[in-house]
A and B are shown apart, each in its own frame.
Chain A
Amino acid sequence: MWEIIQESLPQLLAAGFKYTIPLALISFFFGLIIALVTALIRLSRQHGLFMLLKWLAQFYVWLFRSTPLLVQLFIVFFGLPYLRIKGVLPHGIKLEPFTAGIITFSLNTGAYASETIRAAISAVPSGQWEAGAAIGMTRLQVLWRIIIPQALRIALPPLSNSFISLVKDTSLAASITIMEMFEVSQQIAAANYQPLLMYTLVALIYAVFTTVLSGIQHYLEKRLGSQIRVS
């Protein structure tokens, strides 16, 4: 048994560092940007063009929260090449597996995280908006300097949860031919007929990854917290 582990562990770890972790980190980064923009649109005052943007933002959040992630991956990777529009898109949208993965995971995380951020911004007492306005700050200044720093602190624990989910969800990328850890473990299991051992091993590696990553996140949380205090 040790031999099998010794043989397969390096392959699994290599796949983890090459695909699983980059997928999670890059998607979370873009997901957060998407989430912040979406949350701000949804919280904006209602008039004119903003109504359309608000409706779009709401539709996007609904779409990605109400459909399975696996299905979303399939649509983006296997489905979009068939989105052919004469003159505009004659060959459909063909994406590299990794790109399709990043796009889907970012959009999916963004939809969930936008609700977290929206709730966090709403949770900052309205007196803070008034206090900022009363010293003559613009709405944007109040938002960036007063509201968002406080909202981030409120949002950090739930965002950290989303991140851990994302790390585990990257295993779904196996289904769109990305050679991430779970895909590699399946291939090894198929070759050496040790599915119990292989899948337990890969499960343990996920556990180690999420534990270490959430440890880092925890450290960043503290640092960000203290930075906010100092600034």
Chain B
Amino acid sequence: MKLTQINKVYGKKHVLKDVTLEIPAGKITVMVGPSGSGKSTILRSLNLLVTPESGQYDFNGHQIDFSQKISSKEKLAIRRETGMVFQDYNLFPHKTVLNNVIEGPTQVLKMGRKQASELARELLTKVGMADYSDVYPNELSGGQAQRVAIARALAMKPQYLLLDEPTSALDPELELSVLKVLLRLAREKQSMVLVTHNMAFAKQIADKIVFIEEGQVLYDGGPEEFFSQNNPNDRIKNFIASMTMENLS
């Protein structure tokens, strides 16, 4: 996955400025940065929920020039090859947990209901939600809902799993249940792009860290250097310190 010099403008606000970014397969790329910096916009550009005005996007044989019109066929193809997990889960409230998970496989991949249900049960077991197949989303806790949302995204067998602040709406205990699932996926070499504010988790899971501020990439490299006390960039050091509440007083 590679973005080259992408630009996105909302009204008068230039939210992404010539962002160039490579996202390796089989690795965990973590995007961090202050709120409103453009991390989510980058993430959403990767499955074309957001379309930048200019720049290039290379992914899995697709070559997209954002200054041209993107065919809906190409859009759907790219979305099929990526899975998205949202901050507020966005489960389908009128469908049971199982039906949430099989919706993509049956409707988009045209998989049979039986086969899709088997796949779904397997994935629900993986995220620790096997006992909740017939439950409706409004009966789930936030952590449970988010784990179902992860299963729903995985059901499309995506090349990349994109996670947009998946634990920001959860209290610490529920957050842990979701983070454990993500760690497990990381061990299975599932390619992931994760936007998060949780620095401790980023440090633990990341193969690569990208720091975004004001629509620009300020850091792109390994986690050791990023979190090191010797990071030459004071802005990043301050950011980490404030996120981990190191020097409150």
Contact = CB atoms under 8 A, between A and B. Distances in A.
B156 A130 contact: no
A172 B40 CA distance: 57
A127 B86 contact: yes
Interface string A114-141: 0000000000010110111111111001
Interface string B71-106: 010001101101110101011111110010001100
A146 to B, nearest CB: 6
Q: Which among A130, A131, A132, A145 has the highest number of chain B CB atoms within 10 Å?
A: A131
A195 interface: no
A75 to B, nearest CB: 42
Contact of B156 (A131, A136, A141, A146): A136
Interface residues of B, number: 29
Contacts of B156: 135-136
Contacts of A131: 84, 86, 90-92
B92 A134 contact: no
A153 to B, nearest CB: 7
Contacts, number: 65
Contact of B79 (A125, A136, A145, A153): A136
A147 to B, nearest CB: 10
Contact of B76 (A130, A136, A228): A136
A135 B153 contact: yes
B104 A229 contact: no
Nearest to A146: B92
B90 A141 contact: no
B47 interface: yes
B86 A138 contact: no
Contacts of A27: none
A134 B94 contact: no
Contacts of A138: 72, 76
B103 A135 contact: yes
Given A135-B80, A145-B107, 12 more contacts: A125-B90, A128-B92, A131-B86, A131-B90, A131-B91, A135-B103, A135-B153, A136-B80, A136-B156, A137-B108, A138-B76, A231-B95
Contacts of A145: 103, 107
Nearest to A126: B90
A132 B80 CA distance: 11
B49 A137 contact: no
Nearest to A145: B107
Contacts of A149: 94
Interface in A5-60: none
Contacts of A132: 92
19 contacts: A130-B84, A130-B90, A131-B84, A131-B91, A133-B79, A134-B82, A134-B84, A134-B153, A135-B104, A135-B108, A135-B156, A136-B104, A137-B108, A138-B76, A141-B108, A149-B94, A150-B94, A229-B94, A231-B99
A150 B137 CA distance: 14
A136 B153 contact: no
B132 interface: no
B88 A134 contact: no
B49 A133 contact: yes
B200 to A, nearest CB: 28
B94 A153 contact: yes
Contacts of A150: 93-94
A143 B239 CA distance: 42
